[in-house]
Structure 1
Amino acid sequence: MRSPQRLNVPIHLDRGLAEPLQAQLAGQLKSAILAGRLAPRARMPSTRTLASVLGISRGVALAAYERLLADGCVEGRHGAGTYVAGAEPAPPGGSPGGSLGGSLDGPSGGPSGGPSGGPSGGSLDGPSGGPSDDPSGGSPGDRSGDGRPPSGDLIDLRRERPSTQAFPLAAWRAAWRRAGHHAPPADEPPAGGLPELRAVIAAHLRETRGLVLDRHEILVAAGYGEALELLLRGWGYGQGYGQGRGQGHGRGHGRRPVIALEDPAPPRLRAAYARLGTVLPLPADRAGARPDLIPRGCDVVAVLPERGNPLGTRMPLQRRRALAAWARGSGGLVIEPAFDGLFDAGVNPLPSVLALANGDPADLAGAGRAGRGRAEVGPAGAEAGAGREGAGVPGAGTAGMAGCGTVGMVGSFCEVLTPALRLAFAVVPRGWAGPQEDGAGPGEPSFTCQLAVADLLASGAVTRRADRLAALYAAKRALVRQALAAYPGVRLLGADTGISATLLLPDGIEAGAVVAELLERRVAVAGLGAFHQRRGGAHVLGNGLVLYYGHLDTVTLRRALRVLTRTLGTHRPSHHPSHHPGPRPSPGPGAWPEPDGRRTVA
């Protein structure tokens, strides 16, 4: 059964306008089609999906599709849904991996000749790229095929790992088999990755994120840390950086950069950045990282706009604009993930910081009306004009640097396939100072590995796998909410998207003690304090637990949640009902720490 097609481009409908909703929807979808953010022959979301995501009736969505059909923008296929009309445009030439919007015939001879990719159970089977360096904390698959640990074994919720349930084993084996039919080249693979892999990654980003990378290119690396190094190398940071093509883009002159990383963040992600530069915390609140608190003198800002890890925050459009303005005004570099990590087809997309920095049409006129003139960047309404000098965005309007900054992306397929696949990529401006021809750059994946991943992408197996995981994770999120959302005295964060949740504990329950007792009961969780760079700082919200549960089957997850709730019950400040009816309540449901240590309630 085919999974519903998610909405992958930002849509903003304004009921306050005289223009009917169906006309607004049709106009924005048409703009996305004409701009190439919805590729020719791409499947469109169903009217039911549009109605659910945008909060409109199916009649409005149907009327919009009828307009698009009349304009020749879409075409209906009996029993198969609605598709973007037209042939795939011919790719522009002149750059390796540069046909970033066109179709691709992968190693298997094109999508029509690829594997069916139907889900099948079992553990991963295929060449392993070696140990993982996934900064999210991933590790190779579970010891059992369905993710269930043997009885009495440790249930580990400390690391983010994808589920191995319903892994597309047939497509995986077929891709590696076809890749193995190619004779190995006499020389090393091209710097930056095979052109066919780079092009199909760009096509995948257009399909899943609505990104048209006509001014960007893909550089492939052997791991997430290596992809980060490529990005910083191109900007001129680090020993020997900025010596290749396009060196005029950078401003680092070979020194180690000062990097502001969203705080809290996964410890492994912080370690990956710390290997390349000096890391400073960028405080986050309920709306994600705060651009008005970017440290002065900072060269690079690393954020998680789509889903903050571990708090599950999502950055609003105004803050994304402020980050794009900081990059343009200060001449700095903003880095965001290429994969949104939401695993939820019901979320209305927002423009990426990269799209906003490049003036992408994704920054819709309707969305502009919603936040015109000012960008809200503080939890209590502190504002900074996106692009206005000195308006709360550090470095905005810096003399001589306007227009020199940029935004890059780093991604991998650890979240969808397996962390054992040591392949990642960076999205960089075209003509960037990439890998050095003399081999001084970061390592690259093997020739066979690149061919296999290109095959998996071209056949649609990766997209189908992400859709299947979204359905699996939705059921697990429901279990977590059922067990913990109404638990007295605690607050659950991030359980509506993704594969992790954070449980804030009341002051009377100490997180370290709960972690220790859970470990004695064979359940391992992480303390929230470890995700902050400066433990005990004024902005730190550290008394909590972080649970990564995506890799567990439902039976094991229920067992872990049962142990967790029972353990919390033993740590209440008083167990005698005449003394206290329960644990002291946590701050209100909207309570977040201010940088000066105060808490605010939404």
Structure 2
Amino acid sequence: MTDDWATFGADLHVELRGTGLRTGLMDALREAVRTGRLTPGTRLPSSRTLAADLGIARNTVADAYAELVAEGWLTARQGSGTRVARRAAPSARRPAAAAAPRPSPARSRPAYSLVAGSPDLASFPRAEWLKAARRALTAAPHEAFGYGDTRGRIELRTALADYLARARGVYAEPGRIVVCSGFVHGLMLLAAVLRRRRVREVAVESYGLDLHWRRLTEAGLRLPALPFDERGTRTEELAGPELKGVGAVLLTPAHQFPMGVALQPGRRAAAVDWARRTNGLILEDDYDGEFRYDRQPVGALQGLDPDRVVYLGTASKALAPGLRVGWMVLPESLAEEVAAAKGESDWASGTPDQLTLAEFIASGAYDRHVRAMRLRYRRRRDQLVAALAERAPGIRVSGIAAGLHAVLELPPGTEASVVQAAAWQGLALEGLARFRHPATPATRDALVVGYGTPPDSAWSGALDALCRVLP
């Protein structure tokens, strides 16, 4: 005999109360509608299906439905089934909630955001992404939806190897790529492997993201900071006696975040020389490296020595952080170890997104999107610089040759007051102090302005709000 409950209709959880089945069913349905568990327009199971689910006679359900229709709780129409009536049902009595305190202007949701670290989410290429997803999922083998290789789908690793070699100068083979759920996930995996290799210290830059520093610290690693000057991070300091215990270094050489300086050739060479001499490892965060405006993008540091540099990239800036897809190009000696560590944690980007991104890259849609966004962000950068020159001529702008943010130098002692004034203007904004390593002295006041963040509709308003709060 066929199990009706397993094959027909929608599921409906009903608890019958009292002695009469029809009365109990009607009371339970009224209560479900009254409390909002069954919302107006919800289609109920057929009388036959619900009777089979509850183990009662079909006529009992049909009679209950009919009476509730007469009362106005339900509606029944030929071809449309039985549904909850579209009317305002009285809500169940609940204790009166205390009046919520009125938020102060500083705590209200900002009208505009110039926080760095995000692209214009409204520009996500939805139509092209849907086309790529349709092609990718149509062509995908059935086994693609199993657990699969912990390194990630071979389609994505192959597409990434081709793209990174062509666009970023990375030496990449599919077997040396591990797909992860973003930069932080990759950093956590590397931290775990470094600890197993008895590394105790990882040098970091004087300015960066505290989230990254916390993840390394949580893995039991100490984080001495490298000095910084107008030419970027002073990687030659890695050879100094005070950093003798360092086994790895985390760098953003293409476009330092947040200072916006590209690591100078001599200092790139100094970092690689240190890694070769000490058997150390360089962790390269290719932060928005594809967005360079005044000349060709600076190639990845990994190309200088693929056996000593781990290249980390993501789709967060070029597409959207919500995809949660990142990748590591690893030295051959490290690839299996990192893949094994990923298997232990079982964090993975979903197969559909991996397959779609592989198709998106292979079809050329990724290149087209990056080029289009490069032009858009460059226009915004130029508009920012022009507005500051006209309305705040005393503000010096730096870090604008690449990326999605700029650094605005402020008069000494004004950073905190400007950030607070921005909050009162409904503008989310961050000062340089937010990104300073605890061991780095505070020698300058500045704002880190993310001009890639607002959608086009909000860009003009955000720019006006920024100019109003500048000293």
TM-score, normalised via structure 2 length = 0.69
What amino acid maps onto 2:208 in structure 1? A
Counterparts of 2:179 and 2:463, CA distance in 1: 39
What amino acid maps onto 1:558 in structure 2? S
* Pairwise CA distance, 1:329: 0.7
Give 3-state SS (helix, strand or coil) of 2:163's partner: helix
1:460 to 364, 368, 375: 364
* Pairwise CA distance, 1:341: 2.8
What amino acid maps onto 1:160 in structure 2? G
* Pairwise CA distance, 1:450: 1.6
Counterparts of 1:568 and 1:213, CA distance in 2: 45
Instruction: Answer with 516-525 or 285-294: which moved more.
Output: 285-294
Give 3-state SS (helix, strand or coil) of 2:166's partner: helix
Give 3-state SS (helix, strand or coil) of 1:355's partner: helix
- Matched with 2:374 is 470
- Matched with 1:302 is 250
- Matched with 2:227 is 283
CA separation of 1:470/1:299 partners in 2, compared to 1, >3 Å: closer, same or farther? same
- Matched with 2:398 is 493
Give runs of aligned pairs for residues 393-412 of structure 1, distance below 5 A: 406-412=308-314
CA deviation map 1:477-502 (0-9, x unaligned): 01111122463433211123211111
- Matched with 2:28 is none
Counterparts of 1:180 and 1:353, CA distance in 2: 35
- Matched with 1:567 is 469
CA separation of 1:408/1:153 partners in 2, compared to 1, >3 Å: closer, same or farther? closer
Counterparts of 2:302 and 2:236, CA distance in 1: 19
Instruction: Answer with 271-280 or 261-270: which moved more.
Output: 271-280
Instruction: Answer with 223-232 or 451-460: which moved more.
Output: 223-232
Counterparts of 2:368 and 2:354, CA distance in 1: 19
- Matched with 2:323 is 421
1:230 to 189, 193, 198: 189
Counterparts of 2:180 and 2:267, CA distance in 1: 30
Instruction: Answer with 478-487 or 446-455: which moved more.
Output: 478-487
- Matched with 1:258 is 201
The alignment yields a C-alpha RMSD, in angstroms, of: 2.7
CA separation of 1:314/1:216 partners in 2, compared to 1, >3 Å: closer, same or farther? farther
What percent of counterpart residues are identical?
A: 27
Counterparts of 2:358 and 2:342, CA distance in 1: 25
- The answer as to 2:147 corresponding to 1:188 is yes
* Pairwise CA distance, 1:322: 0.5
Q: Is the 8 A contact 1:435 1:441 kept in 2?
A: no
Give 3-state SS (helix, strand or coil) of 2:260's partner: coil
Give 3-state SS (helix, strand or coil) of 2:321's partner: coil
Q: Is the 8 A contact 1:308 1:314 kept in 2?
A: yes
CA deviation map 1:246-282 (0-9, x unaligned): xxxxxx24x6x31111121133333343343322222
* Pairwise CA distance, 1:321: 0.6
Give runs of aligned pairs for residues 153-164 of structure 1, distance below 5 A: 154-164=111-121
Give runs of aligned pairs for residues 161-172 of structure 1, distance below 5 A: 161-172=118-129
CA deviation map 1:338-396 (0-9, x unaligned): 455351354234453222225xxxxxxxxxxxxxxxxxxxxxxxxxxxxxxxxxxxxxx
CA separation of 1:500/1:221 partners in 2, compared to 1, >3 Å: closer, same or farther? same
* Pairwise CA distance, 1:511: 0.8
Counterparts of 2:419 and 2:278, CA distance in 1: 42
Q: Is the 8 A contact 1:413 1:419 kept in 2?
A: yes
Give runs of aligned pairs for residues 495-510 of structure 1, distance below 5 A: 495-507=400-412, 509-510=413-414
CA separation of 1:186/1:421 partners in 2, compared to 1, >3 Å: closer, same or farther? closer
* Pairwise CA distance, 1:437: 8.5
Counterparts of 1:197 and 1:289, CA distance in 2: 33
Structure number with greater Rg is 2
Counterparts of 1:275 and 1:285, CA distance in 2: 29
Unaligned runs of 5+ in 1: 1-151, 242-251, 359-404, 570-602
Higher helix share: 2
Q: Is the 8 A contact 1:410 1:424 kept in 2?
A: yes
Unaligned runs of 5+ in 2: 1-108
Counterparts of 1:544 and 1:423, CA distance in 2: 32
- The answer as to 2:165 corresponding to 1:206 is yes
CA separation of 1:549/1:268 partners in 2, compared to 1, >3 Å: closer, same or farther? farther
What amino acid maps onto 1:329 in structure 2? R
Give 3-state SS (helix, strand or coil) of 1:501's partner: strand
Q: Is the 8 A contact 1:515 1:525 kept in 2?
A: yes
CA separation of 1:531/1:351 partners in 2, compared to 1, >3 Å: closer, same or farther? same
Give runs of aligned pairs for residues 503-582 of structure 1, distance below 5 A: 503-507=408-412, 509-534=413-438, 537-538=440-441, 540-554=442-456, 556-569=458-471
Q: Is the 8 A contact 1:485 1:492 kept in 2?
A: no
Give 3-state SS (helix, strand or coil) of 1:436's partner: helix
- Matched with 1:73 is none
TM-score, normalised via structure 1 length = 0.55
CA separation of 1:221/1:553 partners in 2, compared to 1, >3 Å: closer, same or farther? closer
Q: Is the 8 A contact 1:230 1:442 kept in 2?
A: no
Counterparts of 2:183 and 2:208, CA distance in 1: 15
- Matched with 2:57 is none
- Matched with 2:39 is none
1:325 to 264, 269, 273: 273
What amino acid maps onto 2:113 in structure 1? D
What amino acid maps onto 1:283 in structure 2? P
